[in-house]
Amino acid sequence: KIAKGDFSPIPPMCKYRGEFTTVELAINQMIQELQLREVAMIESHKLRAIGTLTAGVAHELNNPLNNIMLTAHAMLEDHKALSEDELLEMINDVINEADRSRKIIRNLLDFAREGESVSGPLDLAALVNETIKLAQNQIKVTGTKIETQIQTHLPQIRGDKQQLKQVFLNLILNALDAVGKQGTIKISLEQADNPGFLAVKVEDNGSGIPDYILPNIFDPFFTTKGPGKGTGLGLSVSHGIVNIHGGQISIESEEGKYSRFTVILPSLNVPADFKKP
């Protein structure tokens, strides 16, 4: 039971304290400790993902900041020669560029800030779209093409928004690592073949995964990326999160051709945009 990731405490086997009671208590304490470690592991990998995203944010901020600088300098040097209309237009440019910078930062801050784990009904389509936005700066830097096929009007799911975002972010960041400049990443959301489940697929036409490492990719600390580039925790943490949510994560891949990760999650049976009459 524990080996499969079910950390619910073992109920006492007999009414009175017997020779197994000490073992039961010790195992329950171990289970509690394992749960705490799992939470800590999810948190530490989230911090790592934030680190990766920060690089993309910094890169994307360069453009609007340059524009603000250029416009401000022009105003400083030429303000006497400029008409009031021209000056107003330049001030508006500065405001727009500052607003663009704020939007670039806001997504990352939202993801970084919300720490506490809360479970509730979620619209998976919105969640997947928000995650793509979160990775958008990274995607721009690498020049990768993204194709999405997100079905709306699907039933909601129950879960922790931040944790599930982390799962899809890990899959997208892995796909970005695997594709070159010519790469394409396809992200889709639809009803799964299994009734009562929704399926999110993240597919890339990058390096693919050789058969001999396929059985290891979900193992903690398994990575083929160089030191400082990967911790090998992304997929194991994602696997843990999906498991907690009663779902499954699976992989199909062919070396040199593609990798397709499929996450299925149980749905609540009300369409996300269902309005009561």
Ligand X SMILES: Nc1ncnc2c1ncn2[C@@H]1O[C@H](COP(=O)(O)OP(=O)(O)OP(=O)(O)O)[C@@H](O)[C@H]1O
Q: Which stretch binds Mg ion (CB under 5 A): 4-12, 135-143, 172-180, 182-190?
A: 172-180
The one-character DSSP state at 183 is -
Token pair of 50 as six digits? 């934030």
Among 128, 133, 130, 138, residue whose Cα is nearest residue 57: 138
* Inter-residue contact 57 to 108 (CB < 8 Å): yes
Q: Give strand ranges (E) for the chain.
A: 119-122, 145-150, 155-160, 184-191, 197-204, 248-254, 258-271
- Indicate whether 56 belongs to the interface with ligand X (CB under 6 A): no
**Residue 129 binding: pick among Mg ion, ligand X, none (C-beta 5-8 Å cut-off by kind):** none
Q: Which stretch binds ligand X (CB under 6 A): 97-105, 116-124, 132-140, 216-224?
A: 216-224
Task: Give the HSE-up count for residue 57: Cα atoms under 13 Å, Cβ half-sphere.
Answer: 17
- Indicate whether 174 belongs to the interface with Mg ion (CB under 5 A): yes
- Indicate whether 224 belongs to the interface with ligand X (CB under 6 A): yes
- Indicate whether 142 belongs to the interface with ligand X (CB under 6 A): no
**Residue 232 binding: pick among ligand X, Mg ion, none (C-beta 5-8 Å cut-off by kind):** ligand X
What does the per-residue mask of binding to ligand X show for 172-211, with x meaning CB under 6 A? Answer: --xx--x-------------------------x-xx-x--
Q: Give the C-alpha separation, 37 to 154, whole Å.
A: 34
**Residue closest to Mg ion when measured from CB atoms:** 234
Token pair of 241 as six digits? 């999160």
Question: Minimum distance between the CB of residue 218 and Mg ion, rounded to whole angstroms?
Answer: 11
Q: Which stretch binds ligand X (CB under 6 A): 88-96, 138-146, 151-159, 234-242?
A: 234-242
- Indicate whether 54 belongs to the interface with ligand X (CB under 6 A): no
* Inter-residue contact 175 to 185 (CB < 8 Å): yes
According to DSSP, the residues that pair with 148 across neighbouring strands are 187
Catalog residues that contact ligand X under the rule CB under 6 A: 48, 170, 174-175, 178, 204, 206-207, 209, 217, 222-225, 230-236, 259
